Amino acid sequence: MAQSGQYRESEPALSGLLLDPRGDMTEICDAYVIGYIRTYRLSQADRLLKAWLADSPRQPRALLLRAKMQIDLLNWKSAEQDLREVLAAVPEHAEAADLLAGVFLKQKQPEAALQILPVAVKDRRTRLSARLREVECYRLQGQSEAARRLLPIILDEFPDSMQAHLDLGTLESDAGEFEPAARELERARELAPTSPDVRYALAIALRGCGRETEAKEHFEYVTRAREAVTEAMNLRSKVEQNPADAELRCQIGTAFLDYGQTERGLVWLQSALDVNPRLASAHERLARYYAIRAKDSEEFSKLAIAHHQLAAPP
């Protein structure tokens, strides 16, 4: 419950768990910090991380989570320092290497990223992300052909990678190959129909193919999506001052879920229900999401029915 941001029942237990961790201090702190970060309760996450690191200085998991929080806040130098410490303690830490490469790329340092990425490429759990970062490195270095050669290799291993299809389609479009670009980007859209990045790249390719009407529809969608997500990102700061505002959390979650940030949207909507379990707007949005996913799983079908019932007036 703590890890998913459901604090109504889990938070009162925290002090007791910390006083008597029974050997599970890392698991306890890990779960609560993840939940705090997911629901943007950053002051609580920061306090718990400080206590954790005071008890276990240079604890790799604590440093990794603090780095993730700094990445979310765009504090690249602070994140870089924490990730370097993780790798100093655990040189083969694939997730830390992958994240550090991403931090280097945000600071336009592709050469530094390429030096650390082999650690992440070796691990199956981070290989896809790491290989896509290699593509980004080549693009930043102006080596578009190297990036285009690498992407089919990535897709051979990960054929359902939306990002790989998006990157390949974008590169084809940049090279003036609009027809193959559109095909790649249509596949990316099938995998992520609400992604603004995919829809924008597809609009560019369609315009290049002379399909102006279709392109216009995607451009308009992107404008709406960027406005909604920007507003949601700005609203997050208000949650710190109004943590019990369930409607605010629902508004943020709905924007993220509507426009391609599914996991983030679900967490925010769940946090709204944690504050107010009867919030109809949150149940209604979750019912629509799970109804669309019902064909993938019986469990999703059950969730759609449950949320639909809870959304109905008493």
- pLDDT above 70 for 310: yes
Of 130, 73, 124, which Cα lies nearest the Cα of 105? 130
**Residue 5: per-residue pLDDT:** 61
pLDDT over 90 for what percent of the chain? 67
Residue 263 to residues 24, 36, 274, 290, 299: CA-CA distances in angstroms?
27, 15, 16, 13, 17
**Residue 291: per-residue pLDDT:** 93
Mean pLDDT score of the chain: 90
Angle (nearest 5°) at CA 112 between 109 and 113: 85
- pLDDT above 80 for 200: yes
Better-predicted residue by pLDDT, 79 or 35: 79
Q: Domains in the chain, ordered, with CATH?
A: 1-57 (no CATH), 59-142 (1.25.40.10), 235-314 (1.25.40.10)
Q: pLDDT tens, 205-229? A: 999 999 999 999 999 999 999 999 9
Mean pLDDT of 58-80: 93
**Residue 6: per-residue pLDDT:** 63
Q: pLDDT tens, 106-118? A: 999 999 999 999 9
How long is the chain?
314
Question: How many whole angstroms separate alpha carbon 8 and alpha carbon 274?
Answer: 6
Q: How many CB atoms lie within 10 A of CB 295?
A: 8
Question: How many whole angstroms separate alpha carbon 3 and alpha carbon 35?
Answer: 4
Residue owning tokens 């029942």: 9
Q: Residues 137, 139, 140, 143: is their CA dihedral positive or negative?
A: positive
* Range with the poorest average pLDDT among 7-11, 49-53, 128-132, 305-309: 7-11
Q: pLDDT tens, 119-175? A: 999 999 999 999 999 999 999 999 999 999 999 999 999 999 999 999 999 999 999
Note every long-range contact of 301-310, with CB atoms under 8 Å and residues 24 or more positions apart, other chains counting. Answer: 307/283, 308/283, 308/284, 310/278, 310/280, 310/283
Residue 86 to residues 35, 45, 82, 249, 285: CA-CA distances in angstroms?
21, 19, 6, 33, 39
Radius of gyration of the chain (CA): 21
- pLDDT above 80 for 298: yes
> What one-character DSSP code corresponds to residue 104?
H
- pLDDT above 80 for 93: yes
Mean pLDDT of 222-237: 91
H helical segments located in 76-123: 76-89, 94-106, 110-121
Q: pLDDT tens, 8-36? A: 666 766 666 666 666 577 788 888 888 87
Mean pLDDT of 185-192: 96
- pLDDT above 80 for 270: yes
